[in-house]
Structure 1
């Protein structure tokens, strides 16, 4: 009986006008793009409000951010102790909020995946978490029959809305008036709250457990979904029912508007997604899936329909934009060989946002001292590493290289007191460093050999050499004292060993 009924209803309602044909063609352009598998049922899909319109998928104990360009996972947030719910992206796409089955609410930085805020207050699972339009507050709806408004900077609840008698599984904050909050509960009621008085200003009965609610732009009308029925309410008339439509065979689990709010999409446990014209609420198109649908989302640019199912399947339908269709209509079109465009092809192509760009590494230039070494200018190479800010290990390495090349004397000769001063200061600074001592002793001997006849004519060099002599003398005395201590310790150690051997015998 069901098959003939559907056939008759299609003939009756699908009027073959030019407008209907145009709309059918539009929705048929959403072709299945890919089907991905999550580890459990997918309970929530939320798009980022700004380009590139990435979307957050909540399943089991994690929230994953998918790219709308490649449909691959960009970020995975799995810092939950229990099942996660309703991962929602903030308006600036920098933060994400999610609840879990323990009643915990957490705010994450999307880039670093760090936990920025943790809110405690609910004692049962939190199924709804959303940012306010002002980005500083969060709405949470829980199975403890309450909805709360949280202050993100203060990390505390500033409103507690608790007139529902059953699980609160739907809720949102009005974009036009952030003081108005709409909630839906399994007690079959929809309530409108005014945060200025923290009280319920309007209550309506849907007639079935409420799974989802939406507010039309302007805030004058709302839509509730529960059971197989969607109901349209006029708030200006005091909550009067404008339209009640039942086109699904099972419970409607999720709803969303298109980019212009002129079409309503609903997903149901009967495996169907239906699209309504909000002028008359006639079904203009439908999609069928293989499993019951738990959540549905349409990208803000109306190019991607993403559906999450109970079996853990994430289905993505994509509609090519006019720019994409233009590029497809001329695939691989190349300019004529030998023309100017042929030689400049690809010059202005910047790639897509998610493309991996290989950075061109600039040619590594030799350091200044390596440049002088390559040209056998040893004196200039030594001057280059004696500049302020150069690490000591570089200077020692160069001195060692000069010793290996038998060019140390060549690098030191021919200097006046100004150019000799940095080298003597370096000796004075590092001569008592054990790992440098052997090399610097050779350098000091070369300086004395080369400049012994003129070293006392410069007051500056004379002063430095006296300081160097004093420091070397102090180091020798220290080494002698250390040798005495080592000798004493060796005698004590040998005496202890001989005593132990005698006692043992």
Structure 2
């Protein structure tokens, strides 16, 4: 078993320090609130610049400009509530489902209906373009998932494995044959169009509201259901590798930033939280005035948009720094594979403070007193923390507490001369009236007197220190007595004033009664 270091208790300190992460997300300033006609159920950014975004609310899909934040196109060719308006990879087409079960494809510029896919019998909450641009994915409350061929307007694959509403679905960016769906039957399923069946099922444990595949061809996927997000490893057979519950209510929406290093979650508890995907700790949180139904981050990380249940649309824009713009331009202009610069890339790169560095396991370096404790040399361990360079209140009391816990305090204090006793007694004199240490140091003082009581008077140094300790304790006792007397006197004054006021009130009441009787 590995040795556990001595735990030094620290009193809580109220200290606020803004982290670089918080500073970054606080640069999304000047939130613009836009009122829609109904709940904002979906937000989707165009993959191409200038990254306009489609907002689905009520019975329409509106295309907002990322520059002016104004609606520049409105698609309202729906008979009932519209859902999941999303762009194709070239930003020229939009697909959306509605409450009647229709899936329609529109031209962004003319807003004309180009294709209509009819087969679902209940509302369609998921409508997405496949990465091959030739297919559309849809998922419906009729418990089916369909993959449509755009030219023929026919469904080429139908999956009926779910047992409840299907409210989430994505097509893999790297392999268009793989489809991931989430349902209110509390499962996440992976379908393969080559086998036309489900090849993997993961139990989330709550109705699934949203799912994402990690960008960059990773095997991990994220699902959101209830107040919990779960991360699954597909290569490990759908094993859950993380389960995080940082929200108080149901999580309704998931989004990644452009690099896939941060995961955004929107919830009915009015919060959008940003998680670091390395450890899934919350690095920042944003509160909104209403339950969050949808959240999205632009591909260039410049706009953060959230839609709420009361119809409010919040648009936050981040101002770029000059060096950040130059870095993004460098990444866009970077030479591809097969060139000399490609093979020489990274030669001059240096790690940044926020980078994750894989290091070898280092053996913990023990302090001097920990080495003595590990070797059960308790006498020397106590001496080590009483040295002038180490004599800190928290450290010494932690050592004394540890010795008492191991029931070796008597052996650590025994067999000492006046020179080795002097640092301990001096420490007791200095800190015995410190409220955080008083109970412990009183017990230590009693043990010390039990051990060295029979030999008092043999060392003038120790006798003088013990007299100082006695005066310190007696002074504290006298102070406590004076405080008790003062509190008692105040209690008498308060009681007397209360009695006097009640007597005055009684006399006044009696006088009033006499006046009424006389009249």
TM-score of the aligned structures, taking structure 1 as reference length: 0.60
Q: Is the counterpart of residue 68 in structure 1 residue 47 in structure 2?
A: no
Q: 1:82 aligns with which of 77, 80, 83?
A: 80
Q: For the residues of structure 1 that align with 2:16 and 2:275, how far apart are their CA atoms?
A: 14
Cα pair 1:174 1:219 within 8 Å, conserved: no
3-state DSSP of counterpart to 1:82: coil
Residue 246 of structure 1 deviates from its aligned partner by 0.2
Larger Rg: 1
Pairing of 1:193-232 with structure 2 (within 5 A): 193-217=191-215, 218-232=217-231
Q: Is the counterpart of residue 246 in structure 1 residue 245 in structure 2?
A: yes
Q: 1:129 aligns with which of 127, 131, 138?
A: 127
Please name the residue that 2:178 is paired with: 180
Q: Is the counterpart of residue 109 in structure 1 residue 107 in structure 2?
A: yes
Cα pair 1:252 1:269 within 8 Å, conserved: yes
Pairing of 1:429-440 with structure 2 (within 5 A): none
- The runs of 5 or more residues in structure 1 that have no matched partner are 1-10, 327-505
Please name the residue that 1:315 is paired with: 314
Pairing of 1:64-463 with structure 2 (within 5 A): 64-217=62-215, 218-323=217-322
Q: For the residues of structure 2 that align with 1:285 and 1:66, how far apart are their CA atoms?
A: 26
3-state DSSP of counterpart to 1:24: helix
Please name the residue that 2:54 is paired with: 56
3-state DSSP of counterpart to 1:23: helix
3-state DSSP of counterpart to 1:196: coil
Q: For the residues of structure 1 that align with 2:194 and 2:96, how far apart are their CA atoms?
A: 25
3-state DSSP of counterpart to 1:86: strand
Cα pair 1:32 1:315 within 8 Å, conserved: no
Q: For the residues of structure 2 that align with 1:32 and 1:61, how far apart are their CA atoms?
A: 28
Q: For the residues of structure 1 that align with 2:38 and 2:25, how far apart are their CA atoms?
A: 29
Residue 324 of structure 1 deviates from its aligned partner by 11
Q: For the residues of structure 1 that align with 2:218 and 2:324, how far apart are their CA atoms?
A: 36
Number of residue pairs the alignment of both structures matches:
312
Cα displacement string for residues 308-354 of structure 1 (whole angstroms, at most 9, x for unaligned residues): 0000000011100125999xxxxxxxxxxxxxxxxxxxxxxxxxxxx
- The runs of 5 or more residues in structure 2 that have no matched partner are 1-11, 326-519
Residue 33 of structure 1 deviates from its aligned partner by 3.0
Q: For the residues of structure 2 that align with 1:273 and 1:324, how far apart are their CA atoms?
A: 28
3-state DSSP of counterpart to 1:58: strand
Cα displacement string for residues 47-78 of structure 1 (whole angstroms, at most 9, x for unaligned residues): 00010000000011100000000000110000
Q: For the residues of structure 2 that align with 1:149 and 1:204, how far apart are their CA atoms?
A: 21
Q: For the residues of structure 2 that align with 1:15 and 1:141, how far apart are their CA atoms?
A: 46
Please name the residue that 1:21 is paired with: 19
Residue 243 of structure 1 deviates from its aligned partner by 0.5
Q: For the residues of structure 1 that align with 2:31 and 2:302, how far apart are their CA atoms?
A: 11
Aligned CA distance change for structure 1 residues 25 and 171 (closer, same or farther; 3 Å): same
Residue 219 of structure 1 deviates from its aligned partner by 3.5
3-state DSSP of counterpart to 2:19: helix
Please name the residue that 1:446 is paired with: none
Q: For the residues of structure 1 that align with 2:183 and 2:110, how far apart are their CA atoms?
A: 35
Cα pair 1:66 1:74 within 8 Å, conserved: yes
Residue 197 of structure 1 deviates from its aligned partner by 1.0
Q: For the residues of structure 1 that align with 2:293 and 2:224, how far apart are their CA atoms?
A: 13
Q: For the residues of structure 2 that align with 1:296 and 1:245, how far apart are their CA atoms?
A: 18
Cα displacement string for residues 464-484 of structure 1 (whole angstroms, at most 9, x for unaligned residues): xxxxxxxxxxxxxxxxxxxxx
Cα pair 1:90 1:96 within 8 Å, conserved: yes
Aligned-residue Cα RMSD (Å) equals 1.8
Please name the residue that 1:370 is paired with: none
Cα pair 1:176 1:219 within 8 Å, conserved: no
Residue 31 of structure 1 deviates from its aligned partner by 1.0
Aligned CA distance change for structure 1 residues 325 and 90 (closer, same or farther; 3 Å): closer
Cα pair 1:58 1:85 within 8 Å, conserved: yes
Q: For the residues of structure 2 that align with 1:130 and 1:170, how far apart are their CA atoms?
A: 10
Aligned CA distance change for structure 1 residues 43 and 115 (closer, same or farther; 3 Å): same
Residue 281 of structure 1 deviates from its aligned partner by 0.2
Residue 15 of structure 1 deviates from its aligned partner by 10
Residue 249 of structure 1 deviates from its aligned partner by 0.2
